[in-house]
Structure 1
Amino acid sequence: MADSEMPYRVLGGTGEKVSAIGLGGWHLALPKVDEKLAFRIVRSAIDRGINFMDNCWDYNDGISELRMGKALREGYRQKVFLMTKIDGRTKKEATRQLEQSLERLQTDCIDLVQHHEILRFEDPNRIFARDGAQEALLEAQKAGKLRYIGFTGHKDPRIHLYMLEVARENGFKFDAVQMPLNLMDAHFRSFSKQVLPELVKDGIGVLAMKTLANGSLLESKTVTAIECLHYALHLPTSVVITGVDSMEILEQAFEAARTFKPFSDEELQKLLAKTQKAAAHGEFEPFKTSSIYDGTAANQKWLGEEPEHLQALMMGTV
């Protein structure tokens, strides 16, 4: 790490040192990214100092995890902090997905596993219910199959706050939380204003995503990619996750890290003013205002079956 091109930060209360920029897993299996390029992106990122690897059980039908698993062979696994996500809301489905992720990623233990796409107010209740997904992750943690537990979501900060509330009611504190943090979010249904202060207060690791909103922020013609990355780095984030589908975009990530300096209040307000009008109605954050990005809405089977006792209630058999 001493000669790394990448600065490091601490992941919340875990004490883990993670790269300020993390490598997003979804882009590793896009149509224009073949396995050879994905392999090169992952290993080049690690060789130059990125140690936080993002992935998910459902990314590109598992191909993203498979490719990352192959790239992490030959000693590379020991160099990274590996994260993936599962969609299952039931203990049974969460366990099944976690076991698949472990196999695809070719590892006995994943550093951080997150409950993915907390988009609905019922998600926290299902996860923390009897025979819910949280039981699966806690058992896996005890068995040494994962180290830390977090959650993600991109829809509404109020749902994140509710997930934190339900966790507290169950005597649990998450190690990390992933959410959209970008120059549009600051003005519309803002995670940075509503959720970020709570995470900082509780010492929970902050994972920024949708920093460029898959490029849609750039379509507003208001800010540059480097400005977007600098903004997320300016916030009290542990890791800014960015999708990389070419060596040029990987270079962009390192350029952002290399040139970053915290903003003065005046500089920050000037930057935020650039996006204020464009951000007003969420047009450039479609993950908040539409279901286009909601994988679990299009694939509800990923969540697992509703609890048997609730099905019985619905059928009037109890």
Structure 2
Amino acid sequence: MAEADVRGDMPYRTLGKTGEKVSAIGLGGWHIGLPTVDEKLGVRLVRAAIDRGINFMDNCWDYHEGLSELRMGRALQDGYRQKVFLMTKIDGRTKKEALRQLEHSLERLRTDHVDLVQHHEILRYEDPDRVFAEEGAHAALLEAQKAGKVRYVGFTGHKDPRIHLHMLEVAREHGAHFDAVQMPLNLMDAHFRSFSQLVVPELVRQGIGVLAMKTLANGSLLRSKTVTPIECLHYALHLPTSAVITGIDSEAILDQAFEAARTFKPFSDEAWKALLAKTRAAAARGEFEPFKTSSVYDGTATHPEWLGEEPEALRALVPA
């Protein structure tokens, strides 16, 4: 993929049709709230990333019960907020719950607006219908857009590419267009229930920004002993991604992200096939992508209350 802009060691890419320039590597917010990362380190990592050229900041309302947003909010003080493209996610499926969570996020992040808010964990076939219901979460984000609290809207999910396609279909039925979509894009996904094969081409066709996550699958891919961290990041950078979001919990991992960005060059067809061949056997059953094959990574399954109540009309249909 040709890079439109390079700032130091960091290439910048365009986010879909928005015209926004974002760093090809984004900082994942979940890791800065880990128990092994204290607040001082978390703030230092965010600021070091920005100082070195990363401007895409990922976060979520539910990460570590809000701790990740609180730490990022502190890091973005003293002029840093103006240097970044700030994204967070909300779990609420109802308008009421989505608005409540968005207000929490704005407060924790210490900002009056978020550049991108995404409907988080679109994992079930009923999720799109709940999001686009008359009093669903999408109505909340449209309202927030009009109020200047949200600039762009997207969605995320890690379970099945067909659910992503269904979300896009339901959005189209409601006359909605997403600015960005986030999904697992890694060297195992290339072979198993593949977002890169099924969803990415449709996003490119619609001009929607492609956001990669779980590029190393929180280290799970490395346990397969088939590929290196740099190869994993280069794989995602080779795809038509706007930003490759990676967890950064130490100075060494931050250096690794910049090394991947600095050394990346698009693969030749031969080199690409050779890279994919390394993980073909290991990827066959989804063993190293547990977020697809189990509920371990499904926060909204553990906490269904985050979604909000089902519509009254539907609950009335359930036999007592």
Counterpart in the other structure of 1:186:
190
1:70 corresponding residue in structure 2: 74
Query: Partner amino acid for 1:59?
Result: Y
Alpha-carbon shift at residue 78 of structure 1 (Å): 0.2
Looking at structure 2, the residues matched to 227 and 141 of structure 1 have their Cα atoms a distance apart, in angstroms, of: 38
How many percent identity over aligned positions?
79
Does the 8 Å CA contact 2:59/2:68 hold for their aligned counterparts? yes
Q: Deviations over 1:106-152 (max 9, x none)?
A: 00010000000000000000000110000000000000000000000
Alpha-carbon displacement from aligned partner over 1:213-234 (angstroms, at most 9, x marks no partner): 0000000000000000000000
Correspondence for 1:217 among 218, 221, 227: 221
Give the aligned CA root-mean-square deviation in angstroms. 0.9
Aligned to 1:89: 93
Give 1:95 deviation, angstroms.
0.5
- Partner of residue 312, structure 1: 316
Equivalent position SS for 1:56:
coil
Residue matched to 1:255: 259
**C-alpha distance 240-3 of structure 1, shift in aligned 2 (>3 A):** closer
Partner of 2:233: 229
Equivalent residue for 1:55? 59
Matched, 1:272 2:276: yes
Alpha-carbon offset, residue 312 of structure 1: 1.4
Please name the residue that 2:286 is paired with.
282
The alpha carbon displacement at 1:203 in A equals 0.3
Give the secondary-structure state (helix, strand or coil) at the position aligned to 2:317: helix
Q: Which residue of 1 aligns with 2:138?
A: 134
What does residue 30 of structure 1 align with? 34
Measured after TM superposition, the shift of residue 5 of structure 1 is 2.2
Question: What SS is found at the alignment partner of 2:190?
Answer: coil
Q: Are positions 1:295 and 2:303 aligned together?
A: no
Please state whether the residue corresponding to 1:85 is helix, strand or coil: strand
> Number of matched residues?
316
Q: Deviations over 1:168-202 (max 9, x none)?
A: 00001100000000000000000000000000000
**Aligned counterpart in structure 1 of residue 207 of structure 2, from 200, 203, 212:** 203
CA–CA separation in structure 1 for the residues paired with 2:314 and 2:212: 35
Deviation at 1:314, TM superposition (A): 1.6
SS at match of 2:153: strand
**TM-score, reference length from structure 2:** 0.98
Within 2, Cα distance between the matches of 1:311 and 1:267?
54
Q: Provide the C-alpha distance between the structure 2 equivalents of 1:2 and 1:151, rounded to a whole number of angstroms.
A: 27
Q: Which residue does the alignment assign to 2:166?
A: 162
What is the TM-score with the length of structure 1 in the denominator?
0.98
Q: List gaps (5 residues or longer) in structure 1.
A: none
Looking at structure 2, the residues matched to 259 and 279 of structure 1 have their Cα atoms a distance apart, in angstroms, of: 26
Matched letter for residue 155 of structure 1? K
What SS is found at the alignment partner of 1:9? Answer: strand
Q: Aligned partners of 1:280, 1:130: CA distance in 2, in Å? A: 41
Deviation digits for residues 252-297 of structure 1 (CA, Å, limit 9, x no counterpart)? 0000000000000100000000000000000000000000000000
Q: Deviations over 1:50-77 (max 9, x none)?
A: 0000000000000000000000000000
Q: Secondary structure at the match of 1:7?
A: strand
Match of 1:238 in 2: 242
Structure 2 gap ranges (5+):
none
Report the Cα offset of residue 4 of structure 1: 2.8
Taking the aligned partners of 1:4 and 1:99, their CA distance within structure 2 comes to: 35
Deviation at 1:311, TM superposition (A): 1.1
